[in-house]
Amino acid sequence: MSNSSLSDAINNSEHRSFISRIASQQTFWVFVAALLACIALTLMTDTFATERNLFNVTRNFAFIGIVALGMTAVIASGGIDLSVGSTLVISAMTVSVTMASGMPFWAGCLLALGVSLVVGAVNGVLIAYAKMPSFVVTLGMLSIARSLAMVLSNNKMIYQFGPDHDFLLWLGGGSTFGLPHPLIILLILAAFTSFAFRWLRWGQHLFAIGGNEQAAVLTGIPVSRVKVSVYMFSALMAGIAGILEVGWLGGVTTNLGQSMELSVIAASVIGGANLAGGVGTAFGAVIGALLIEVIRNSLILLGISTFWQGTFVGSFIIIAVAFDRFRQARGYE
């Protein structure tokens, strides 16, 4: 019997200590980088560590972070969703137009999230059942959804939101216990996503599909249905971010969320999601979004032209993927 308990102990043992496990996580190093950037900025500028600036940073990164949660699910399943920025604007426009016409917030909210889910479902069905590449489908949707938002609003700015005007502005722009609402919602959604990735069969299946789709099919996982749900999840996150962003800005135009997909993909990839599929964490996406926003904010505070922002975000994606290649080439991972 002692023999079997010994082998049980071996079977159940973790092979590496807690610290070495943490240190091998990309998320950890990205977090360290973000922390160092914050400390450096605090020392170099007297504007970074002000309450007002920190409030702005946390709120700004929350929108990218929320959308990055959905993007991480898509990337982990082996796909990509380029239409998130357009989904965000169509959701924002739907809630705005609905509320501007005198409807209450809940009606606009439900309608906006419904529209987002439809966008995600169309993406998902074309990708999962018509077997089209996610890159192509969502690139098409990027154009379609934004164009529909323009049709819906006649390309006008909307800044009057009917009877629940103040509530919408409070939801997106207000704070509770000193925390901006978008940040609170990000944390709740991140906790839920993290839970779903780890503990729901849905999470297991989406990672299996990203790891080896053929294997997922052969073992009887409902691959097509899971894929559709993943794109719907991504669109839902973009839809939620869209509603909050309208409240924060207090007005909406059809160029909201333009080229946002780039920052969102960067946040996911920096946070450890592997574009080849099968790897990614919700927490990583949040940290990735934080790092991007801190860098973006620092460029402004340090007086560097905002024209440089695209260079930084783009370089981040390339560097993060290069790191991945490097690790694979050395046989780690």
Q: List contacts with other proteins (CB under 8 A).
A: 4, 7-8, 10-15, 199-201, 203-205, 207-208, 210-212, 214-216, 218-221, 278-279, 333
We find the least distance from the C-beta atom of residue 216 to other proteins, in angstroms, to be: 7
**Between 51 and 333, whose beta carbon lies closer to other proteins?**
333
We find the least distance from the C-beta atom of residue 290 to other proteins, in angstroms, to be: 25
**Between 15 and 52, whose beta carbon lies closer to other proteins?**
15
Q: Which residue's entry shows tokens 């629940």?
A: 164
We find the least distance from the C-beta atom of residue 208 to other proteins, in angstroms, to be: 5
CA distance 268 to 265: 5
Q: CB–CB of 286/27 below 8 Å?
A: no
**Between 192 and 308, whose beta carbon lies closer to other proteins?**
192
Distance between start and end Cα atoms, the chain:
37
**Between 77 and 298, whose beta carbon lies closer to other proteins?**
77
We find the least distance from the C-beta atom of residue 222 to other proteins, in angstroms, to be: 9
**Between 35 and 276, whose beta carbon lies closer to other proteins?**
276
CA distance 285 to 329: 24
**Between 59 and 205, whose beta carbon lies closer to other proteins?**
205
Q: Kindly tell me the burial class for residue 227, based on how many C-beta atoms sit within 10 Å of its own C-beta (0-12, 13-18, 19 or more).
A: buried
CA distance 270 to 82: 17
Q: Angle 206-208-211 (CA atoms, 0-180°, nearest 5)?
A: 110
CA distance 116 to 89: 10
Phi, psi of 326 (to 5 degrees): -60, -45
- Residue 286: name the closest of 29, 32, 61, 3 by CA: 61
Tokens describing residue 150: 């323009």
We find the least distance from the C-beta atom of residue 220 to other proteins, in angstroms, to be: 4
